[in-house]
Amino acid sequence: MPKDGTPVNVVREKDNPVDSRALLCTSLLAQSEKLLDAEELRNVLGYLPRQVSTHLSPLIDEGLIFLTAWSRSTLTDTPMLLEGSSTDGMIELSASLCSPTEVLREEQLMLVASSWSAASQASEDAHVGLQEVIRRRFWSAFGRIRCSAHAHLLDTVEVCVLETFHRCSLRAQRLAFRLLQRKATWFRTSSLQYSEIPHIEAAVDELRERGIVLSGDDREVDENMEARLSALKSDELIILSKRLGLEHHRNTRKKLIGTILSSSRDISDSDGGQLLFHTWLSIFNGRSSGMVRLCPVLLRSVEVVNYLTFLRPDCGLQSFVLEDVGVIRYPPHRGSLDDGSALFTSRSDLDAYLSVIAEASAVDAALDAGDEKTALNILDTNIFPWVNSCSSVIHSLKHQNFRRRFEPDWVRAKMATIGITLLERHGRLTDAVAMLTRLLSCPICPERRGTWYLRLIINSNHLGRLKDATQACDRALQDPWVRCGDRLGIQRRALRLARKVKSWGTLGARWRSDILWEAPIDSIRAQALNGSVREKKRYCTISEVGEATVSVEELAIMHYAEEDAGSWRGVHSESRAWMTLFGLLFADVILSPVPGVFHGPFQSAPLDLGTDSFVEVRRDDITKILSEIRRGEGPKIVRDVWRRYYGTAIYGVSWVLLSLDELCDIILGLGGAALAEVMGLIAEDTSGWTGGAPDLLLWRHSSCEPKVKAVEVKSKNDQLSDQQRAWLLALRDAGVTVAVCRVSF
């Protein structure tokens, strides 16, 4: 390391294969970004910690700051330990703006300030490393749960195991936390190697003595032998197959494991499992103390702590440092995060909920892999029987507010909706109708009743049951939970059915003119390059034929930008622009300290957002904001929120979709009355209006009216969905100019 106070050059390495945001520190005076030759490599001091460069590299790439640094031998106010240094390298870092303050936009200045603050905090954490930060924050979360209303959700055995784990040496704890972040179940101690953990063998021995890890010699009741087989190498699996007398030639690793498991099932459960276990042990000469796994009680207790901390089942230990590596920045929470209210009354309720969540994840994974057969098998086994047993007496939800989202039946209802779609796709319409009828007879997941009614009407119509479909329309239009696009779609179908069955009362309904309204059409003539293929259409731009293709939405934006079409500026945003406006205008309402809706520091939105409870408890605050918007104070509100929260994760807000000035231009172009009308709809039913907004939001500086226009873009033969029609009608009623842009050839 150079002597104290020596200038250090910070080089941006965009092409670094390990980290695209890498910042290399050298003692060279060169200011250019280049690959270092052998001579220059001698002057490499190391890299800035990844969690620091994550925040600073985007500022450098945008040309907002340049960094200056000096080597330091002692701690200063802004010390940065270097990674990959052969010595205990440390530098002092400072940042300067590349342009005068008055030249930069307000959001750029806020971005620099917030990113530098985050980098400084990350530097402090970098002294101990991300793994140590994870360990400390987990124990902090565990302590917070023990003192919260959720303390009863950790049973006595789990608390005992965690406390025993906490008393382990730092070395042993760090090893266990490393293993907790790996996907495998069994580990070979000889292959464990971590730079921050010396003497791993001693750490393993300590964890084994305290019961935190189990040896391969110990077999649990009903143990999953597939996990043990997955820990074997390919040559070991072949040896195991030979000893069991199984075919092993030209089999893949996956097939070998499947064959071995299948053979053990052919024998009685106890004998087959016992034989496989002892044969597995024989691979290690009868003892497998070199293979270890984490104690199941520890795994279960860590899962519970993680879930109660993040309230999302997909969050693991690495979620504790998402802020440190620049993935997300959580908003500050005002008031207490623990108001004494628990989301689950008992541990059995939590276990039941997590079990159903696991089933839902399995269905989603199967569908993502294109395996509808597996997904349908899971639903046939676990969900369809539940639907068939539904009754209004037995299956009523315990909670009538946002807490119903944390009940197993709410998740099952969501899965049942997916299952109905699969039944329809496989032609099982009669089964789908029976399930929909059963679901609608129970007060379960009322937010989905509109979808269920719509599917029931469509399927009944396809089956020729016109009377049943008409009766379902009548019931649906009297149901207050049928909203937005679902209500509009049911009204349109009710009108068509009424003509078939001659229902004169329906034909004379007052809403007929609204549901038949069609938005004005703007036409573009263009030839799709992939017009004969069933996929999203791509088009060539006239000026770049053969060089560049654009989507139909990009083609429409180029069309509207032309002078003859109105010289519009625009963005392809669908709902994102409207939700960004909502999130900014109502940021303080969303983050207000309402009791029971914030249970931890890792939430970007209250738990009741998207439910009727959100409006019920904030009615006065929402009414006040809407009044301010009507008075034309929208730009003032947005600028103030932008200044205070820029870069923070707030529900719906995209900080990069539009600039602050562009957002204010849109707000002014819409006018206070129209904006308040649209924002009021979203506040009343956030989840209902999340999807279906027009593809394009256009605006312009012009003396001509209108100054804002919302456009839904459709290729040839594409049809508007019910939700898209609902958005166009809602925007029209609010006074916003709307259109459907048809691209044809």
Q: What is the C-alpha to C-alpha distance for residues 117 and 130, in angstroms, rounded to an integer?
A: 18
- Are 693 and 655 in a shared domain? yes
Q: Taking all residues of the chain, what is their mean pLDDT, rounded to a whole number?
A: 84
Q: Is residue 305 part of a domain?
A: no
Q: Is residue 460 part of a domain?
A: yes
List pLDDT tens digits, range 345-398.
999 999 999 999 999 999 999 999 999 999 999 999 999 999 988 765 444 555
Give 285 or 546, the one with higher predicted confidence. 285
| Total of domains in the chain | 4
Could you tell me which of 745, 736, 695, 687 has the C-alpha nearest to residue 716?
Answer: 745
pLDDT category of residue 505 using cuts at 50, 70 and 90:
low
- Are 466 and 369 in a shared domain? yes
Q: Which of 265, 299, 333 is the last residue of a domain?
A: 299
Tally the C-alpha atoms within 13 A of residue 214's C-alpha that lie toward its C-beta.
16
- Are 438 and 545 in a shared domain? no
Q: What is the C-alpha to C-alpha distance for residues 554 and 544, in angstroms, rounded to an integer?
A: 14
pLDDT at 266: 62
List pLDDT tens digits, range 147-199.
888 999 999 999 999 999 999 999 999 999 999 999 888 998 888 999 889 89
Q: Which residues contact 54 (CB under 8 A, 6 or more apart)?
A: 21, 122, 324, 325, 326
pLDDT at 547: 47
Tally the C-alpha atoms within 13 A of residue 304's C-alpha that lie toward its C-beta.
26
Q: Is residue 194 part of a domain?
A: yes
Numbers of helices and strands, H then E, in the chain: 31, 16
Could you tell me which of 248, 249, 240 has the C-alpha nearest to residue 275?
Answer: 240
Residue 16 has pLDDT above 70, yes or no: yes
| Count of C-beta atoms within a 10 Å radius of residue 656 | 8
Q: Is residue 333 part of a domain?
A: no
Q: Is residue 307 part of a domain?
A: no
CB contact at 8 A, 490 and 723 = no
631, two tokens: 């008075």
List pLDDT tens digits, range 714-733.
987 788 999 999 999 999 99
Length of the chain in terms of residues written: 745
Q: Is residue 689 part of a domain?
A: yes
Q: What is the CATH number of the domain that holds 448?
A: 1.25.40
pLDDT at 210: 94
- Are 184 and 100 in a shared domain? no
| Count of C-beta atoms within a 10 Å radius of residue 175 | 27
Q: Which residues contact 279 (CB under 8 A, 6 or more apart)?
A: 240, 243, 244
pLDDT category of residue 38 using cuts at 50, 70 and 90:
very low
Stretch 448-454: mean pLDDT, rounded?
94
pLDDT category of residue 404 using cuts at 50, 70 and 90:
confident
The boundaries of the domain holding residue 211 are: 133-299
Lowest mean pLDDT among 77-91, 208-222, 586-600: 77-91
- Are 148 and 212 in a shared domain? yes
Residue found by looking up tokens 């509808």 in the block:
372
Q: Which of 462, 493, 516 is the last residue of a domain?
A: 516
pLDDT at 541: 57
Residue 478 carries which DSSP code? Answer: T
Q: Which of 68, 100, 126 is the last residue of a domain?
A: 126
